[in-house]
A and B are shown apart, each in its own frame.
Chain A
Amino acid sequence: MTTFTERFRVPGAFLLGAVLLLGVAPLALSDFRLSLLAKYLCYAIVAVGVSLAWGRGGLMVLGQGVFFGLGGYAMAMHLKLTDAAATGEKLPDFMQLYGTSDALPWWWKPFANPAFALAMTVLLPMAVAAVLGFFVFRRRVKGAYFAILSQALAAALSIWLIGQQATTGGTNGLTDIQGFFGYSLDDPVNQRMVYFIIAAVLLLLMALARRLFVSRYGELLIAVRDSEERVRFLGYDPANVKLVAYVVAAGMAGLAGALFVPAVGIISPALIGIVPSIGFVIGAAVGGRASLVGAVLGAVAVAWAQSTLSDEFPAAWTYLQGLLFVLAVGFLPGGLASLGAVLRRRRTPTARKTEPVAVTAGETA
C-alpha cells in the first residue's frame, strides 16, 4: 500500500535537513551568521516540544520559558564555576560584586560537577513539569486555566530570579561565559563546534518526536486533545497521557536552554519571562503547531525575522509581528504548514467536508 515516495519521504526529508544543517550551513555562513543560526536552532528545539505538547496534545504551554530557564541556569552555573576555577577564583565574578558572603551557596555546589550539571539541564525542568503537571492535570485543570497557570509560573520564576541578585545575578542573569567544558568560547572553531552540537541535538530530538507522533501514544495524544472525556471512557487516564507530553516538552526546552548558554553566552530572567514564553509558542503557531517541520521552521523564521528586522526597523517589526500572530493564529490555525492543504480545499470545494480541521492526523512530518 505504501508507495515508494511515501516510504522514503520522511527519511529523505530528514536526510535533506541533516545535509542542510550539518553540511551546507556551516560552509555557506560566516562565523557570525552561524552563531546566530545556532541561537535560532535553540528556539527550534523548544518548538519541537511545543509541537508535541500543544500541537498534538492541545496543551497550551505558555510557560516554556521556565524550563528553558532552568536548563539554561543549570548549564550556566556549571560554566560560571569552571570559569571561576580556571582563573583561580573561589566565586563567580558577579557573586564577588553583589554577594554578601564569600562562601558559595549550598545549592550551587553540586553544579561544579559536570555530569550533575548536564543531567540537571534536562532532569530539573522535567521534574518541575512532572510535579506541576501531576497536580494540575489530576484535577482536570485545563484549557485556559492551564494556559494562565503556566504563564504565571513563567512570571514567578523570572521575578524570583531577579530578586536573588546575590546568588543568580538578578536582572543581569549569568553573563560573560568564557569556556565550555574546557573549550574557550572566544575561539570561532569552538563556536562552530557548539553549532554542530546544537544542530545534531535538534535533528535527534526531531527524530524522537517524530517517533512519538507516529506511535500509538501519538494517536492517543490526539484522541485526548480532541475528546478527553471519551478517552476516559475507554479506560485510559488522560492525565497521564498529557503528563508525558508536558514532561517531554519541558525536557526539550531545558536542553534548548542549556545549549543556548554556550551559543549566546548568557542566560537571564528577560529570556524566560512571560514575553519570551509566548514567543516560544508563536514560532510554532506561525509555522504549524501540529507539524514538526512546520513548528521548527516557524520558530527559526520568527527568530530570524526578529533579530534581523528589529534592529533596523524596531517599530515596523513590532507591528508586523503583532499582525503575523493575528493573521497566522486567527485565520490559519494550522500555520503555514497547512497553507497547501487550505489552498487545495479552496480549489475543490467538495473536498471541504472531508477535512473538518486544517490539521490532519496523517500529516506528521
Chain B
Amino acid sequence: MSGEGLTVRDLRVTFDGFTAVDGVDLDIHPGDLRFLIGPNGAGKTTLVDAVTGLVKATGSVRFGGEELLGKAVHRIARLGIGRTFQTATVFEELTVLQNLDIAAGAGRGPLTLLRRRKSVPESVTRALETTGLTDLRDRPAGVLAHGQKQWLEIGMLLVQDVRLLLLDEPVAGMSHEEREATGELLQRVSADRTVVVIEHDMDFMRSFARSVSVLHAGKVLSEGTVAEVQADAKVQEVYLGRAAEPEPAPAVPVAEEA
C-alpha cells in the first residue's frame, strides 16, 4: 500500500534566480484524489513539471520507492507516471483509437511496432468505455470537442497503466455537465491509482477532492481535507488578502505562467 505513494521532500526549482518551487514537502498516498490549489504563480504547474522530469529540480521526489529526479522524461513515464497539460495535447491527425493504442504501447518491441494493429488491445477497449469515447473511436482526435479531448488524454493515461496521474486543470473551459462527468471519471480512476489535480475551479474541488494542498509562493501553505483547508485563516488571506467569506475562488480560471 504505502510503496506506491508519491513522496516529495524539499523540492526546489529555480529559473534564472527566480525560485518557483521553494522547498515543497508532499505525501500523497495511493488511492488519494489530491487537489493542488493556489493563486497564479504559486508553483503548481512547475511542481508537476519537476515530478515528470520536464524541469531540473533539487530535493527528492520518490514514487514507489524510486527516485525520480535526474531521470529522463520518458524513463519517468515508464515508471507509471503520467500527466496532462493545461491545453489538451492529443495527436490530432490520429484517430481516438490510434491515440490510445500509442499510449498503450510504450513497452512494445520493434517487431510489434512494425506490424499493423490486428486487434484492439483489451486495455484500450476498457479505456474507451471508461471515458465514454467508444462511439468516437475512429474519428480523428482533432475534431473532438474540448472536453472529449481531455477525456481522451485521461484515457491515454489509463491505457498507459500509470499508477500516478498528474492532471493540469482538466476541467478548464468545460461546461457544467462535462465537469460533473470528468469529476466522476476521476473518482472512478482514483479507486486504484493516485490522482493529483491542479485546479482553479473551487466548486469542482469541493465536489470531488479527497484531500487538498494549497500552494503559495512556491511553498505548501496548508494541507488537509476540503473543510480543513477552507477553515484555514492563512488560506483565506492568500486568496482574498483578508480573512473572509468561504468563497475563495478566483472568478475565472486563469492560465498560469509556468
Which residues of chain A have a CB within 8 Å of any CB of chain B?
Answer: 211-212, 214-217, 219-220, 222-223, 226-227, 229-238, 353-357, 359-362
Contact = CB atoms under 8 A, between A and B. Distances in A.
17 contacts: A212-B114, A215-B113, A216-B101, A216-B117, A219-B102, A222-B91, A233-B82, A234-B103, A234-B156, A236-B74, A236-B106, A237-B74, A354-B143, A356-B93, A356-B142, A356-B143, A361-B95
B108 interface: yes
Given A226-B93, A236-B106, A354-B143, A215 B114 contact: yes
A219, A226, A238, A354: most-surrounded residue (chain B CB, <10 A)? A219
A235 B160 contact: yes
A223 B94 contact: yes
B91 A230 contact: yes
Interface string B72-108: 1110011000110000011111110011011101111
Contact of A219 (B52, B72, B94, B107): B94
A234 B95 contact: no
A362 B140 CA distance: 9
Contacts of A230: 89-91
B116 interface: yes
Interface size, B (range): 35 or more
A215 B101 CA distance: 12
A234 B103 CA distance: 6
B51 to A, nearest CB: 12
B115 interface: yes
A361 B94 contact: yes
A217 B109 CA distance: 10
Contacts of A355: 140, 142
Contacts of B83: 233
A233 B95 contact: no
Given A215-B114, A232-B77, A356-B142, A222 B94 contact: yes
Given A215-B116, A220-B113, A234-B156, A357 B93 contact: yes
B91 A227 contact: yes
A232 B91 contact: no
A9 to B, nearest CB: 16
Given A234-B82, A354-B140, A357-B93, 7 more contacts: A214-B116, A216-B108, A217-B113, A220-B105, A230-B90, A361-B93, A362-B95
